[in-house]
Amino acid sequence: MAEPRIAQRAPYVKELEPGTYYWCRCGRSQQQPFCDGSHKETGFTPQELKITEKKRVVLCGCKHTGNPPFCDGTHTRLPR
């Protein structure tokens, strides 16, 4: 599988309402950090994220996190 595109070198901080969300893994979505279907034919699929109560989340923007879909600071160690 190819490497994901780096959508941005910082996390996305979002206040999410209860519901099901789909985090973009490929980095191609125009609706970052969420999937818009741009992954078709890339080998990537979105990551389901279920939120049961309103809360603030810090989602990975670089798409290289070791704890998807959440940011783990990997963006600070990626080559430029």
Please report whether residue 5 resides in a domain: no
Please report whether residue 6 resides in a domain: no
Give the span between the Cα atoms of 45 and 51, in whole angstroms. 19
Please report whether residue 3 resides in a domain: no
Percent of the chain with pLDDT over 90: 94
* Residue 62 lies in domain: 12-77
Count Cα neighbours of 19 within 13 Å in the Cβ-side half-sphere. Answer: 6
Whole-structure pTM value: 0.94
The total number of structural domains that make up the chain: 1
Q: For residue 60, how many other CB atoms are within 10 A of its CB? A: 29
Percent of the chain with pLDDT over 70: 99
Cβ within 8 Å of residue 76, ≥6 positions away: none
